[in-house]
């Protein structure tokens, strides 16, 4: 497997494709709450959908970058030393367009390879069985694969997501109905029985029913179910969403750290050049945010 040197300052840094799950897991476990998605993606069900690159200084890994396959822009996770992250992004993991998750300290270095769109910081929150405080139950129910159509209709109001019935069967989803209509739901992004770790996501309440504690209730139900088999449950929330942060704190979630999740355009790529041309033609882009 070929490796490549990347800079005069750090001539010893090399980057290459990585596939040894034990080696990757060992590095990611240095901060399992920040690396939760990546650790869960090491499981058999998810690993085939990922590509991994690692940077070494001598015999020691100093950085890891993971790309999750799918429609562009692909999610990319980066962890470790900034020079190592840049080495992997330059030479191993090279999407033209991606959502890159990284710590704030790595953003200037990543800027040497990608132009990063502006956006609010994300907060990684976590809970375990000792911290968890169940929410009042206003009538939540476990969702099943046959609820997929109704669940997706709810999500399309907020962010156009689409979940197949299989995802509901394999994950944990809870919803809340008012007069027979699904108005709030929460579920899992990914979970790892082997790592005893899970990520809550897809939390949404219909706009007509917000402010009633429904999101807290469904998130609490999902969290309670996951904590039966997991040591830690994590979730992401935008730093500019204090009501959501407060709701998660009510369940016992605590802030672990803040990180960046930016849309990234590879410098010098045809896509980047086209996007820049369109931006100049159309004028400033309006920022949008999800409720």
Residue 205 belongs to domain with CATH number: 3.40.630.30
Q: Are strands 174-178 and 197-205 parallel, antiparallel or unpaired?
A: unpaired
- Does some domain include residue 179? yes
Residue 59 belongs to domain with CATH number: 3.40.630
Residue 132: its pLDDT value, please? 98
Residue 70: its pLDDT value, please? 83
Q: Which of 101, 48, 106, 96 is nearest to 77 (CA)?
A: 101
Residue identified by tokens 């979730």 is 235
Percent above pLDDT 90 for the chain:
80
Q: Please say if the pLDDT value at position 282 is more than 90.
A: no
Lowest mean pLDDT among 4-13, 123-132, 136-145, 265-274: 4-13
Which tens digits make up the pLDDT trace of 25-66? 999 999 999 999 999 999 999 999 999 999 999 999 999 999
150, 165: one domain: yes
pLDDT confidence of 72, banded at 50, 70, 90? confident
Range of the domain at 97: 4-122+259-282
pTM: 0.85
112, 146: one domain: no
111, 158: one domain: no
The answer to whether residues 100 and 264 touch, using CB atoms and an 8 Å cutoff, is yes
Q: For 134-260, where are the alpha helices, taking DSSP H only?
A: 148-158, 165-170, 214-226, 242-250
Stated as kind and residue range, the H or E segment containing 80 is: strand 74-80
Q: How many CB atoms lie within 10 A of CB 248?
A: 26
22, 62: one domain: yes
218, 143: one domain: yes
108, 199: one domain: no
- Does some domain include residue 127? no
141, 101: one domain: no
How many distinct structural domains can be found in the chain?
Answer: 2
């Amino acid at each position: 497997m070929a490796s490549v040197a990347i800079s005069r300052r750090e001539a010893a840094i090399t980057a290459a494709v990585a596939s040894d799950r034990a080696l990757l897991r060992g590095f990611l476990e240095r901060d399992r709450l920040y690396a939760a998605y990546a650790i869960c993606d090491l499981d058999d069900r998810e690993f085939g959908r990922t590509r991994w690159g690692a940077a070494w200084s001598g015999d020691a890994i100093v950085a890891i970058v993971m790309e999750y396959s799918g429609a562009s822009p692909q999610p990319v996770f980066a962890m470790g030393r900034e020079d190592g992250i840049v080495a992997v992004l330059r030479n191993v993991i090279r999407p033209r367009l991606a959502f890159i998750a990284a710590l704030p300290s790595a953003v200037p270095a990543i800027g040497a390879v990608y132009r990063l769109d502006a956006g609010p910081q994300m907060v990684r929150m976590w809970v375990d069985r000792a911290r968890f405080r169940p929410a009042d139950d206003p009538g939540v129910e476990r969702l099943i694969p046959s609820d997929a159509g109704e669940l997706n209709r709810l999500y399309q109001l907020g962010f156009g997501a689409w979940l197949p019935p299989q995802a509901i069967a394999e994950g944990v989803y809870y919803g809340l109905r008012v007069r027979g209509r699904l108005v709030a739901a929460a579920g899992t992004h990914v979970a790892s029985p082997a790592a005893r770790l899970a990520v809550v996501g897809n939390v949404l309440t219909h706009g007509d029913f917000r402010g009633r504690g429904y999101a807290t209730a469904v998130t609490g139900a999902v969290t309670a179910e996951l904590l039966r088999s997991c040591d830690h449950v994590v979730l992401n929330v935008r730093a500019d969403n204090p009501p959501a942060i407060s709701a998660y704190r009510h369940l016992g979630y605590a802030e672990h750290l803040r990180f960046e999740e930016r849309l990234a355009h590879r410098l010098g790529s045809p896509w980047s050049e086209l996007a820049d041309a369109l931006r100049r033609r159309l004028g400033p882009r309006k920022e949008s945010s999800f409720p």
